[in-house]
């Protein structure tokens, strides 16, 4: 989706909705095209959400290469945890964004984007789980297109055991 004017909250929301749609449709190859080559995907433990992946245990701490490997595993029919794959529905809201001052005069525009989410995950035999939390994203404008360069998922659950295996992309 080419951006022809100013990057507004509506434009950012449309990007997040498109990303959520691709994940919900299990269109992981198209979703990968929304990521920069240096993208990271982090899910810190819920007891230390502000920690760094190099200094604390994370549920997921992927760079682009590992994200790509994760997607390839998820698409493989031998990935029993996600075959058949989960059916998900994502609700994104309370989107806020700003452009950091060091990005304003840069050719590479970066936006900090925060949004709340609810993901309903349906598995076999009536197993429905709900994941609630907040995304902390960095979104870059490159050649009039938006790309995700950072995805940090902060889960609101106090304990993760009841959520089951998080084998899909939050």
Q: Does 168 fall in a domain?
A: no
134-147 exposure pattern, b = at least 16 Cβ within 10 A, e = fewer: ebbbbbbbeeeebb
Q: What local confidence, expressed as pLDDT, does residue 5 receive?
A: 81
Question: How many domains does the chain divide into?
Answer: 1
pLDDT tens-place string over residues 144-157: 999 999 999 999 98
pLDDT tens-place string over residues 73-85: 988 887 777 777 8
Domain ranges, residue 120: 9-163
Q: Does 2 fall in a domain?
A: no
Note the pTM of the prediction, 2 decimals.
0.90
Residue 127 CB-density burial (10 A; 0-12 exposed, 13-18 middle, 19+ buried): exposed
CATH at 117? 3.10.450.50
Q: What local confidence, expressed as pLDDT, does residue 59 receive?
A: 82
Q: Kindly provide the residue ranges of all beta strands, DSSP E only, lying in 31-125, ordered along the sequence.
A: 35-44, 58-62, 87-98, 109-122
Q: Does 170 fall in a domain?
A: no
Percent of the chain with pLDDT over 90: 56
Q: Does 169 fall in a domain?
A: no
In this structure, are residues 119 and 88 in contact, taking their beta carbons and an 8 Å threshold?
yes
């Amino acid at each position: 989706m080419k951006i022809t004017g100013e990057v507004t909250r509506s434009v950012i929301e449309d990007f997040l909705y498109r990303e959520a749609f691709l994940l919900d449709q299990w269109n992981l190859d198209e979703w990968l095209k929304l990521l920069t080559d240096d993208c990271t995907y982090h899910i810190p433990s819920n007891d230390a959400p502000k920690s760094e992946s190099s200094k604390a245990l994370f549920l997921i701490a992927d760079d682009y290469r590992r994200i790509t490997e994760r997607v390839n595993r998820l698409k493989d029919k031998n990935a029993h945890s996600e075959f058949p794959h989960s059916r998900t529905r994502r609700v994104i809201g309370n989107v806020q964004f700003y452009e950091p001052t060091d990005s304003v005069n840069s050719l590479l525009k970066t936006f900090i984007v925060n949004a709340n989410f609810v993901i309903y995950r349906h598995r076999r035999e009536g197993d429905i789980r709900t994941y609630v939390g907040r995304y902390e994203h960095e979104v870059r404008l490159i050649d009039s297109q938006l790309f995700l360069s950072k995805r940090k998922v902060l889960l609101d659950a106090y304990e993760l055991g009841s959520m089951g295996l998080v084998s899909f992309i939050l």
